[in-house]
Amino acid sequence: MGRAFTYVILGGGVAAGYAALEFVRRRGDAALGELCIISEEAVAPYERPALSKGYLLPEGGARLPAFHTCVGANDQLLTAEWYREHGIELILGTKVISADVRRKTLVTSIEETINYKTLIVATGARASKLEEFGVSGSDAENVCYLRNIVDADKLVRVMRSSPGGNAIVIGGGYIGMECAAALVANKIKVTIVFPGKYCMDRLFTQKIAEFYENYYTSKGVTFIKGTAVSSLEVSSGMVTTAILRDGRPLPADMVVVGIGARANTALFEGQLTLEKGGIKVNGQMQTSDASVYAVGDVAAFPVKLFGGDARRLEHVDCARRTARHAVAAVLDPTGAAGDIDYLPFFYSRVFALSWRFYGDNAGEAVHFGDLGFSSASSTPKFGAFWVSSGRIAGAFLEGGSPEEYEAIAHAVRRGAAVPDVAQLAREGLAFVVRE
Ligand code: FDA
Ligand code: NAD
């Protein structure tokens, strides 16, 4: 059995939702019946960031349909109904198990062959498993990962059955830090374990990390750094203890694992050129096969701002923008869409805190503002600029106003000149806000 579509989006996450909206914006009703989205998930695309924030609130948590893509200022809520109304075929709960880019076919888990003329790969990433680091126990009933809504439901269930209990959070990155905050809100005692010297070490400087670690500590969170969980003791299907490398046992009522993500490239290995752990694309998001585009977490694309250096960015703004750009390029093969010119943007929200980062954390970090933690009830404002070759290459700001975020983004975008680093350190935000 088989079906054929002009355009197929493989994957039903953030990028797929934004690609669909762009498609309808550009094609309107002419698009009817031309496009299909195939997703392993059982629900229409949604805003994945909600899963580690609103979804985990102790009361009144966000639930679908409220956070389908593309909820937010001026965008629409793309429910399953929206796709139906716009003639977009949503093939949900269906995994693609093989792809043949030469023949332009995909085969799904129910053995259906789907033909395409143009394919947009939006398969995102998957959570790395403890087993990849030689630790078994991932399938225990109280071990939680967080990538999709099924994971989030399990996390909520396990959290609710462990009131006042101990959670071991493995990993001090985005998932670890955001979930730790949610666990505290749910009155669970949290210990975070990770091998690095400080949390969020892919992005933060030690000084920035210290602020957040002090803040979390004031909320009762314990950090165990510079080591790893080497095994999990399981009894009747439940982890009871996490054992550290030095043999120290940590009692556990539940475990949350956030030890990184890997791009879902397996279907295309040996068929498309790969780079940086993802699928290599050009500025039009086109892969080494002219009929295949890749967007979101899975795509390694040239960032003009970094001299065309290829980056794979695992953040939601990137998924949204690369998806829109790919659709613009696909629907106008004259090349009018041009090459993507993306300013990398990441953010997070935990407790009462909220930060944004723009650009690249390359070069010398120049801190500003009050990095000394005083009280969790205060409203801190601080950050850092990264200065590379005499220009601002990246900027981080906690607690900024919309105008201040815009100012740091603008400074990074235009590569504001820094003739004197000491002056930048002295002036901090004022250096860019007064411009
Ligand atoms: P995404 O992972 O969203 O979607 C991939 C889709 O492809 C999934 O539906 C998957 O099931 C499907 N798929 C994969 N293989 C398939 C196959 N073989 N067959 C069929 N379907 C297949 N970023 C940020 O900037 N700020 C934030 O606060 C957060 N918060 C956050 C929280 C949590 C819990 C996570 C997991 C991630 C974030 N992120 C984030 C990151 C952000 O969500 C991420 O960058 C985007 O979801 C990437 O969008 P994609 O569409 O590329 O992948
Ligand atoms: P991450 O890369 O941010 O952090 C991984 C963490 O795990 C690091 O602290 C690392 O030191 C640690 N680690 C690595 N191996 C380990 C081991 N064996 N034992 C213990 N710790 C180990 O990845 P993540 O936090 O798992 O996030 C997964 C994905 O979700 C990423 O793509 C991330 O960008 C995305 N995400 C983004 C946001 C956001 O942008 N606000 C929020 C949540 C998730």
382-418, pLDDT tens digit by residue?
Answer: 999 999 999 999 999 999 999 999 999 999 999 999 9
Alpha helices of 28-120 — where are they, by DSSP H? 80-85
Using a 6 Å cutoff on CB, does residue 56 contact ligand 1? Answer: no
What ipTM describes this predicted complex? 0.99
pTM score? 0.97
pLDDT in tens, 34-43: 999 999 999 9
DSSP, res 146: -
The pLDDT, as a whole number, for residue 334 is 86
Q: What is the pLDDT of residue 37?
A: 98
Whether residue 376 has pLDDT greater than 90: no
**Pocket of ligand 2 from Cβ distances under 6 Å:** 52, 125, 133, 170-176, 178, 194-196, 202, 228, 258-261, 314-315, 346, 348
Separation of CA 127 and ligand 2 centre (Å): 9
Residue 30's pLDDT is 67
Structural contact between residues 257 and 139, judged by C-beta atoms closer than 8 angstroms: no
C-alpha–C-alpha distance, residues 434 and 425, integer Å: 15
Mean of the pLDDT values across residues 341-362? 97
pLDDT at residue 435 in the model: 57
Distance 236 CA to ligand 1 centre (A): 32
- Model pLDDT for residues 45-90, shown as the tens digit of each residue: 999 999 999 999 999 999 999 999 999 877 889 999 999 999 999 9
So what's the pLDDT on residue 36? 97
Confidence band, pLDDT 50/70/90 cuts, at residue 32: confident
Work out the pLDDT band at 232, boundaries 50, 70, 90. very high
Mean per-residue pLDDT, 168-173: 98
pLDDT in tens, 292-334: 999 999 999 999 999 999 999 999 999 999 999 999 999 997 8
Q: Which atom of ligand 2 is nearest to the CA of 347?
A: 41
Ligand 1 center–CA 324 separation, angstroms: 16
- State the average pLDDT over residues 253-270: 98
Task: Name every residue whose Cβ is closer than 8 Å to that of residue 91 and which is 6 or more positions away in sequence.
Answer: 36, 37, 38, 39, 108, 114
Asked if residue 379 has pLDDT above 90, the reply is: no
C-beta separation of 47 from 75 below 8 A: no
Distance 48 CA to ligand 1 centre (A): 6
pLDDT confidence band for 346 (50 / 70 / 90)? very high
